[in-house]
Amino acid sequence: MNVRDIFETMDYGPAPEDAKDARAWIEDRGGIAGHFINGTWSDLRHDFDTKNPATGEVLAGVTKGTDAEVAKAVAAARKAQPKWAKDAKARAKIMYAIARLMQKNARLLAVMETLDTGKPIREARDIDVPLTIRHFYHHAGFAQLMDSALPDAEALGVCGQIIPWNFPLLMLAWKIAPALAMGNTVVLKPAEYTPMTAMIFAEICTNAGVPPGVVNIVTGDGETGAALVQADVDKIAFTGSTAVGRLIREETAGSGKALSLELGGKSPYIVFDDADMDSAVEGLVDAIWFNGGQVCCAGSRLLVQEGIADRFYAKLKARMDALRMGDPLDKCIDIGAIVDPVQLQQITDMVAANTAGETYQSGAPEGCFYPPTLITGLAPSDTLMQEEIFGPVLAATTFRTPAEAVGIANNTRYGLAASVWTENVNLALDLAPKLVSGIVWINATNLMDAAAGFGGVRESGFGREGGWEGLQGYTRPKGKAAKLTPPAAFTSDDGTPADPLDRTAKLYIGGKQTRPDGGYSQPVFNKSGKLLGHASIANRKDLRNAVEAMSAAKGWSKSTGHLRAQILYYIGENLSARAAEFAARINALTGTKQGTAEVEAAIDTLFTWAAWADKHDGAAKGVPIRGVALAMNEPVGNIGILTDDTRPLMGLIDPMGPAIAMGNRITAVASEAFPLAATDFYQILDTSDVPAGVVNILTGPHADLAPHMAAHGNIDAVWSFSSADVSGVIEAKSISNLKRTWVNNGTSREWPSSTWRAQSTEVKTIWIPYGE
């Protein structure tokens, strides 16, 4: 080919990357990837192969970690953790050294990542490695600031971390950097397909002066990961499929282990008729064909406004035909290999099973490659519009109005990311809060940075990685929790009423006093055995009705912080007017003299959360782009609460205050032993302009209602401060929709305001690039 031919065809000549240094690195270490435990390499075994996806050749052998080897790594991490946690500034220096050494080894890391994953060298070199380094630099800063910026926080302890094969090095950084910064030690299991860059990282840790036991890496497959989940760790951080995330949630239920899950997605890519069409097409290439579509936040659902659909599809097909697929080590390649034949077969089978719409594919070479694929004319309910494919396959449909676009976009069980393309900034910023996802990109896609939180909602998991919000998953408040002793309700053989006028406390659902569906109630006695009244016993149907009332009150979540503040002040004001009455009721229920102090604490708590209602600010993150990344605090939604039994009134007020201040709707189950203070309180709610359905109050046994609350698909989070043994069942049953849970595991503590606010909100990061 001569110069003239090149100018006529605009073809790129090959630009292969030399992989000899990476291959030599493997050979020098015996050709095997294995365990790095307590600062040393364990005996290496070639238990199974890791292969170059592009060629099928064996890249190295991999040691499969056993239960005993995982336990050894955890023991090393446990021993090293107290000393590592003592000096935050020393941690900062070591993490800074890690970042510098990664820069010095950037080329080796990029080539090894490409050999191991099959992704194009351009992506590994220009995206994965720089972002990895950025995470360690950024989190070195968090370590430096921890003592002054987070004085009430401490490390969790030992963190077990399991990462996927699509971004092995970057996911390692997302997990290890915040854990180390906050004083935790780690045991990390790389994906079975892609362990090689983790091995290089282990050597970098040694060269950076990381103390033995602080970073441990155990290689293996799913059985090794399962052993780590079951091991004596304080947290499991998992990135991977939703199916495996469910198994981990169920396995860790009731264990007391902290858990964060970054799972699958089916992200909408919404293009309006006023969008810069060429930019939107190019953005779509990054959204779905970046890393061969093997991206959890890939824009795999294309929603195009009907009037421009044909023109947009034509431009997109022309761009697909120009994509270059082949040897990932060639710097001119756009799309590399699928990570493994197993994954390739899964993609092939899903597309082959589809009979809807029209399928368009460009070419692909022989081997573990799948062609860029566009399937148009699908209905929102079609399988390929609902199920994560995890490959270079784009499912497309059309919409007419912005409201329809939002409806289709949210018609999924996932909620990880979304992209909106329009030149109308008012439209973009109107849509962003309406999209159910953890990240929204405006006229952009796949923007990520260590300063900005990344994570999802719904079945895309819970927790955030990056930014201040990402640190919350690796810290806890200082101080020890006290063991919670269940209070005993008073009983009586007498049953003579303390007040001759019979009082039966009903349930409070949708702003109304409601009789229990089951028709049962329980007597409540004072210390002297006199009958104070009867409390209704709620069942699952009553819970269902309360959830429907919460869902009908969703306007509360869209109300202003100022309005919520005024109503909380009003609740506190009305409670103050009846303080003596409530104090007397608490004294009668508990047989103590705590009533006055508890009512005063309740009033103060209500005023405090009234103050916070319009002051829990988001943040504009300092990301290195021409634009801003806005971290917006949004309500979690419908929250089910099992209250603290020991405090008849404050058990309700403590969680109710922050929850409704932040815009949530709640269904609270009152103190099982002392329910009547909470049922008296709905009289306060009735006179305080609280909209119907925002606060619902049930009474009855916590153990009976907890599993139904946790399994309900329209409850977004469950909090339990109950003395009943329900933490395990709540976490296990929450897998129905992978809702957030906050349980006490039989303990009690004073939670700081920051924790209440974090538990009451979801952080949505809205990326807004600017400039011409």
Q: Which residues are catalytic?
A: 262, 296
Distance CA 479, CA 329 (A): 52
> Which phi and psi (to 5°) does residue 508 adopt?
-120, 105
| Contact indicator for 658, 756 with CB cutoff of 8 Å | yes
CA distance 82 to 593: 42
Let me know: does 647 contact 672? Beta carbons within 8 Å: no
Strand partners, 634: 762
User: Is the separation of the CB atoms in 198 and 92 below 8 Å?
Assistant: no
Token pair, residue 764, equals 């949505």
Q: Kindly tell me the burial class for residue 282, based on how many C-beta atoms sit within 10 Å of its own C-beta (0-12, 13-18, 19 or more).
A: middle
Q: What are phi and psi of 165, to 5 degrees?
A: -95, -5
How many CB atoms are closer than 10 A to CB 483? 10
SS3 label, residue 768: strand
DSSP label at residue 483: E
**How would you classify the pairing of strands 482-483 and 747-748?**
antiparallel
Beta strand 461-462 with 258-262 is antiparallel
**Could you tell me if 768 and 442 are in contact, meaning their C-beta atoms sit under 8 angstroms apart?**
yes
CA–CA distance, 693 with 549 (Å, rounded to integer): 5
C-alpha 33, offset from chain centre:
30
Q: Is 406 exposed, middle or buried (0-12, 13-18, 19+ CB in 10 A)?
A: buried
H or E stretch at 643: none
What radius of gyration do the chain's Cα atoms show?
A: 28
Nearest Cα residue to 112 out of 187, 208, 174, 20: 20
Helix (H, G, I), strand (E, B) or coil at 654: helix
Q: What are phi and psi of 169, to 5 degrees?
A: -75, -45
H helix or E strand, kind and range, residue 187: strand 185-189
CA dist., res. 667 & res. 640, Å (int) = 5
Distance CA 157, CA 82 (A): 8
Q: Which two tokens stand for residue 16?
A: 């292969």
With tokens 């380094």, the residue in question is 133
Amino acid at 376: T
Question: Angle 132-133-138 (CA atoms, 0-180°, nearest 5)?
Answer: 100
Distance CA 337, CA 60 (A): 18
Nearby residues of 402 by Cβ (< 8 Å), 6 or more positions away:
272, 427, 430, 431
CA distances, 208 to each of 39, 85, 91, 120, 321 (Å): 12, 17, 11, 29, 46
Report the C-alpha gap between 199 and 197 in whole angstroms: 5
Measured CA to CA, the distance from residue 683 to residue 536 in angstroms comes to 16
Task: Locate all alpha helices (DSSP H) within 354-466, ordered by sequence.
Answer: 383-386, 402-409, 425-431
Cα separation, 271 vs 405, in Å, equals: 9
Report DSSP state, residue 323: -
How many other CB atoms are there within 10 angstroms of residue 516's CB atom?
20
Q: What is the rounded distance in angstroms from the CA atom of residue 139 to the CA atom of residue 147?
A: 14
List the structure tokens of 80: 């090293």
Beta bridge partners of 85: none
